[in-house]
Amino acid sequence: MKFDDALNKAKDLASENSEQVEAVIETATEKIQEKTPDQVDGLVDQGADAARDQLGLGGN
């Protein structure tokens, strides 16, 4: 399986289960922000938005 195939499959699964995927991204973001200095919160948010964009969910 090529990377593009895997990415497309992940996008399909994410779109079919968008609420669960969003909950996982949000939970991961919160956990990371709890464990890292406040100065990196913006970068963590950017990473979460990038994940949403890659999965076709759009950033917040």
- Tell me the whole-structure pTM to 2 decimals: 0.79
Is 18 within the bounds of a domain?
A: yes
Domain that includes residue 44, residue range? 3-54
37 occurs within a structural domain:
yes
DSSP string over 1-19: --HHHHHHHHHHHHHHTHH
Total number of domains in the chain: 1
Residue 59 lies in a domain: no
Mean pLDDT of the chain: 90
What is the model's pLDDT at position 51?
A: 92
Residue 44 maps to a domain? yes
> Given this model, what pLDDT does residue 34 score?
97
In a domain, 15, yes or no: yes
Burial of 45 (0-12, 13-18, 19+ CB in 10 A): middle
In a domain, 60, yes or no: no
